[in-house]
Structure 1
Amino acid sequence: MSLLRANSIYLGTGQAPQYLSLKRANRHGLIAGATGTGKTVSLQILAEGFSRAGVPVFLADAKGDLSGICQPGAPKDFLLRRATEIGLDDYQFDAFPAVYWDLFAEQGHPIRATVSEMGPLLLSQLLGLNDTQEGVLNIAFRLADEQGLLLLDLKDLRAILNHIGENAASLTTEYGNVSKASVGSIQRALLALENEGAAGFFGEPALDLHDFIGRAPDGRGLINILAADRLIQSPKTYATFLLWLLSELFEELPEVGDPDKPVLVFFFDEAHLLFRDAPKVLLDKVAQVVRLVRSKGIGVYFVTQSPDDIPDDVLGQLGNRVQHALRAFTPRDAAAVRTAAQTFRQNPAFDTAAAITELAVGEALVSTLDGKGIPTMVDRTMIRPPQSRLGPATPQERQQAMMASPVAGRYDNVRDRDSAYEMLVRRARSPEAGAAGNSKGAGQTRTTSVPRSGGRQRQGVGETFAKSIASSVGRELGRALLRGLMGSLRRR
């Protein structure tokens, strides 16, 4: 008898077979456990299951282990033995459709966003700016809006900052104090960002998020894999990029209510990096997005070592749980084990806290939402073996997948159109043009929507978020400044 069911993903077998209902998959989830306990395999079988059901997936491959999902697995003894132990009689190996992405354009298609799309709040987080420096960056975005200056790449941002520094005295009256020292600090932070190799992320053609939501010709969902083994060495860049991506998905996708299966499933690996040292205003926005994004059909799954890595406001929204082993070597570890155990609906057959410390590799405590949205009783579960390869794809296999990708060639060539840098250079050469340009911003606010590739323009998230973020940050620079949910809020 097959353990596979329609409208659900088979996870493994404990006291009974454990399934993740596709109907409840957009209620988000958590995969937790110490290093080496099997989290990556749990992520892999979930990605396979969603793809098989026609649901596209985005995941960050922090160690490179998941890139082999485009290749069928090999019949290794421990995989076959696990399939036999759990009664998976129809276990077969298979390859899954994968699209590779890379911010550094080395191991996948390049991903880019404009500076305007990133917005001042997330950009300040990325650059590690203090409140004063963030205020100057906000002024830069406001001034760019008022004077019709497109902020597409880092040279545009540098140009507008230079313009602010050179005109600090005249700008102070209208926008508040602007110190050249703060401008210099931002410029140094931009230089450090460029030295990390992240400057290539800013520019055009910008990513069209609909390219993530695709299916292979056989109807299976595409598995979008971000090469993050190099990116993870710059934790702040990694975290900021993923937070930006989540906010963009929230903004761009339409409301779908409660679909029979997700529109897209998003996996945050090394999730603790997303929340480390993040300001409260940003944490509040993450919690808000996670709460609301399910109505867009997006399921968000956090992968980390301990549930303690996730803020309570976010953790309370994760209905589907796969908890691998935790080790209680210190009092803090023991407290984390107790916390993890308390989040489950208890099973009288075993002590949940004790079981967490006793789980073998590839074994997990599993609790998912049933058809009524109620958490199932936790079960000690042997996780099913994956069908695709355990381990990375070779460079040749990755290259072949990229050549066959539906986005092959779409993002390869950088486009550098007329924007703030070019416009300010022309003003410097022509004083008359500069005076005319400066006069455009006097007494009025001008909105400059930055078209993405294909001419698509930004739309509004809503005034509620705009007012909330403005209140939290403590500045009211106008709605033109707040263009994106987390630093790039858009107007309606």
Structure 2
Amino acid sequence: MTTFPIARSGDNTLEIQGKMANRHGLIAGATGTGKTVTLRRMAEAFSNEGVPVFLVDVKGDLSGITEAGSDSGKVGERIAEFNLGGGWLQNFPVRFWDVFGETGIPVRVTVSEMGPMLLARLMNLNDTQEGLLNLVFKVADDNGWHILDLKDLRSMLQHVSEHAAEYRTRYGNVSAASVGAIQRQLLTLENEGAEQFFGEPALNLEDWMQTENGKGIINILNSEKLMRSPRMYSAFLLWMLAELFEMLPEVGDMDKPKFVMFFDEAHLMFDNAANALVEQVEQVVRLIRSKGVGVYFVTQNPLDLPDTILGQLGNRVQHALRAFTPRDQKAVRAAAETFRSNPAINVAEAIGELGVGEALVSFLDEKGMPAPVERALVLPPQSALTPLSAEARNARFQSDSLYPAYKDMVDNYSAFEALIEANAQAAAEKEAEAAAKEQAKAEKAAAKEAEKAEPGLLDGFLGGLTGGRKKSGQGLGYNVADSIGSQINRQVTNAISRSVMGIIKNMLK
């Protein structure tokens, strides 16, 4: 049976049971109490057993996982205290990622994959604006137009605004004010770097679920810059959860999880989040365990997470909390009440007394029941605590086998190009229609001119017949007959003259 050793209480090693690792977990505690070391120890334990890991590096100090640690300082003391031996220290396979592509392999997501609900969360839209965003996605879907990047979304907004009357009857009201508000939010996102985040090639999450030499690869997302845009951070992490849920098949409880994720600064996922969004996260967290995925939230205060989410977290490590304010005291009591009691420990008091690297620990047992809480010391990390230099980190990710596949953004055919073609076709059709109207107008004018010219031609013809003379009081029929008679007389006279002249010529011969 697979286990993951995390802490030591006396001679007792506290381990996460492999079958229960997908029941999620919580690492909580005030700043400087050792949460990051606990996160690192858990990631190393999972990697050692061939479980791929994803973790968020908020402070940029986790890159040392790729190097073996040193037997010195507090780490050396803890190794000696637990008699772990020289073989304890080792390095781990690491893959560096960065939404902005500066310190890791670029991470991109298409706008369509993010979806209107998470985009509305990302742009802090109200209900009316979110409704318009859903309308835009519906129009794109019905026309087969793919919204891949921000220019596609902006083009779609402009298109819907220009054809508001057409779409209003089919999809609902199109508010010009809402279109303008969304366009302004898109401009804000661009300033935060979202233009690099949305596009193709999009991240294939299967690339995060790899192993190397029997160890699970630890995927580190550098979030130092990303944290300056909390909305983008939360939207990305929520998308990743939902995408994993859709992608992975049902596997039930396995001997060990297929994948484990650690979300640092987890409160950012839920700050000012709509109830519908929290419900979606709760549903995904509850159901994703059957896909073999474990989700571990890292935050300062357990109260940072909604109760519905907190109730799903079975494996818990609680570092010290400082109860200086009434809210802090409430948090201490709330944290104490979440543990299965241990008669030997006053949990509420112990939370305020814990030292650095010390924690209250309760993991699920083989039957899925929380074990009684124990006061324990977290095992020392096996990898280096010192982060890599910028040059060493850049060299690592740029030589990664996946880097060429994600390095350059690709501008594939999408809504932007489709709308350009549609507008060009519409303009050509309009121009052809205008030309046809002009031709019809010209033909009509020519016909009118012909009608005006016809009476003059008839008068000329009649005038020729009458020799230009008109007799008053006589009708048209008389004039025509007179003209014809005159012509006949002239023709007969000419014929007779020619005959007489012919006879005279013959007589003279």
TM range (shorter): 0.7 to 0.9
Which digits, 9 at most, give the CA deviation of each residue in 1:173-197, with x for residues without a partner? 2111111111011000000000011
1:56-455 pair list within 5 angstroms: 56-89=52-85, 92-216=88-212, 218-431=213-426
Q: Aligned partners of 1:50, 1:426: CA distance in 2, in Å? A: 51
Structure 2: how far apart are the matches of 1:434 and 1:96?
Answer: 63
Deviation at residue 397 of structure 1 after TM alignment: 2.4
The root-mean-square deviation of aligned C-alpha atoms, in Å, is 1.4
2:46–2:53 Cα contact (<8 Å) kept = yes
Counterpart of 2:50 (choices 35, 41, 54) is 54
1:13 to 2:8 alignment = yes
Give the counterpart letter for 2:418 in structure 1.
Answer: M
More helix by share: 2
Please say if residues 86 and 382 of structure 1, whose CA atoms lie closer than 8 Å, have aligned partners that are also in contact: no
Residue deviations 1:361-405, cap 9 Å, x none? 000000001111111111100111101011322123213322443
Q: What is the count of residue pairs matched by the alignment? A: 429
> SS in structure 1 opposite 2:370?
coil
Counterpart amino acid of 1:395?
A
1:431-451 deviation line (CA, Å, top 9, x unaligned): 17889xxxxxxxxxxxxxxxx
Tell me the secondary structure at the aligned position of residue 409 of structure 1.
helix
Residue range with higher mean Cα deviation, 386-395 or 352-361: 386-395
Aligned-residue offset at 1:68: 1.2
Supply the distance in 2 between the matched residues of 1:203 and 1:331 (Cα, whole angstroms).
46
Q: State TM-score, norm by structure 2.
A: 0.82
Tell me, what secondary structure is at the counterpart of 1:430? helix
Runs (5+) with no aligned partner, structure 2: 431-509
Bigger shift: residues 77-86 or 161-170: 77-86
Q: Who is 1:439 aligned against?
A: none
Task: Indicate the residue corresponding to 1:477 in structure 2.
Answer: none
Q: Runs of at least 4 residues of structure 1 off by over 6 A?
A: 432-435
Deviation at 1:269, TM superposition (A): 0.5
Q: Deviations over 1:49-102 (max 9, x none)?
A: 000000000011010111111111122221111122234345522111000111
Helix, strand or coil for the counterpart of 1:10?
strand
Amino acid across the alignment from 2:234: A
1:270-295 Cα offsets, whole Å, 9 max, x none, are 00000100000000010000000000
* Structure 1 position 35, deviation (Å): 0.3
Native 8 Å contact 1:83 1:91 kept in 2: no
Does the 8 A contact of 1:258 with 1:297 survive in 2?
A: yes
| AA at the equivalent of 2:60 | G
Instruction: Tell me the SS of whatever aligns to 1:288.
Output: helix
Residue 434 to residue 246, structure 1, CA distance change in 2 (3 Å): farther
Residue pair 1:328, 1:357 contacting (<8 A) in 2 also: yes
Q: Greater CA radius of gyration, 1 or 2?
A: 2
Shift of 1:171: 1.5
CA distance in 2, matches of 1:270, 1:283: 16
Instruction: Give 1:338 shift.
Output: 0.5
**Hey, what's the Cα distance between the residues in 2 that align with 1:91 and 1:352?**
35
2:30 is aligned to 34
Paired AA for residue 47 in structure 2 = S
Deviation per CA, 1:9-28, whole angstroms, max 9, x where unpaired?
Answer: 11121142211111110000
**TM norm structure 1:** 0.85
Contact preservation (8 Å) 2:105, 2:398: no
Quick check: 2:70–2:76 contact (8 Å CA) kept in 1? no
Identity %: 55
